[in-house]
Amino acid sequence: MKILVTGGAGYIGSHTVVELLNEGHEVIIVDNYYNSNPEVLNRLRTITNKDFKFYQVDILDREALEGVFEENEVDAVIHFAGLKAVGESVAKPLMYYRNNVSGTVVLCETMAKFGCKKLVFSSSATVYGVNNMAPFTEDMPTSTNNPYGESKLMIEHILEDLQKSDPEWSVALLRYFNPIGAHESGMIGDNPNGIPNNLMPYITQVAVGIREKLGVFGNDFDTHDGTGVRDYIHVVDLADGHLKAVNKIMEENKVYIYNLGTGNGVSVLDMVNAFVSENNVKVPYEIGPRRAGDIATSYADANKALVELNFKAERDLRQMVKDSWNWQNKNPEGY
């Protein structure tokens, strides 16, 4: 199939592109490099020994996006393009709603104009809010407490309404838990701009000497060691979930919703200890106060994806921390 990947130069997008190319799909990447790096494209070609089309386009630029569709008969779209920092979204909500929500509307209008109505959307477990009890199931009520999460939930509702209004659409909403790890080659990985918002890139940057110590937000949660528990999934497993979702939306036109996680919870200190033990490096840390809005425990019920997609995360915690360090150690300053 000919698959358009928005945000394909980003962390999850790039790993998904590798898997798509290895499966023999034709890939078109659209990315504006807001949170990615042009070097990624060279490395994708090296890893796969395959080529693909690339367009430096912002999905809000309707004319440029239409140009991409005019030049390519796209069968399906995997939509990663979006801003993703919770703290930044609180400080700049309009930027998040404009980029994430309006960008998706422009994308869908453009897709419809060119007769492409198959879409896999990069959603988030943040849509489960703070009131549900883990493990989270896809039929739980949704809510959010920050503009980033709200933008994801708004897009889910928009895509559900779109499919209801036009049954030719087929949409998969993939609710990610916490992607970590990197391609086993160490050539591509998580390369956030500025101070990392997520745990693993912060750990790796401390380990490689970019940052002095890790700040742990709270050790008084109702968990086995007092630190927050999350569901971490290897990014290559996550990429595989997207390939399975693409196949699913080709079967029947409807809205599919899937958690993509392992179904296992790992605490912050469990993660630090696993990283230190596996990689034989030091990660000094300091316990600080909780962050507002953080919940004690978040992990997936991964059964629906197993039953309907035949998707199961294969890589364990040891592999996740090993591949994360391999990437950072080979690329101490990122790309």
Output the tens digit of pLDDT for each of the chain's 335 residues: 999 999 999 999 999 999 999 999 999 999 999 999 999 999 999 999 999 999 999 999 999 999 999 999 999 999 999 999 888 999 999 999 999 999 999 999 999 999 999 999 999 999 999 999 999 999 999 999 999 999 999 999 999 999 999 999 999 999 999 999 999 999 999 999 888 989 999 999 999 999 999 999 999 999 999 999 999 999 999 999 999 999 999 999 999 999 999 999 999 999 999 999 999 999 999 999 998 888 999 999 999 999 999 999 999 999 999 999 999 999 999 99
Nearest to 79 by CA among 171, 147, 169: 171
Q: Is 97 a catalytic residue?
A: no
Ordered by start, the domain boundaries in the chain are 2-182+232-262+303-313, 199-229+264-299+318-330
Task: Report which residue type is found at 201.
Answer: P
Q: What's CA 118's distance to the chain center, in Å? A: 19
Establish whether domains 2-182+232-262+303-313 and 199-229+264-299+318-330 are of one fold: no
Residue 74, phi-psi category: left (phi > 0), alpha (psi -120 to 50), beta (remainder) = beta
**Fold (CATH) for 2-182+232-262+303-313:** Rossmann fold (3.40.50)
- Could you say which architecture CATH assigns to the domain 199-229+264-299+318-330? Alpha-Beta Complex (3.90)
Which one of the listed residues 55, 128, 148, 176 is annotated catalytic?
A: 148
Cβ atoms 189, 11 nearer than 8 A: yes
d(C-alpha 52, C-alpha 262), whole Å: 31
**Any bridge partners for residue 286, and if so which?**
215
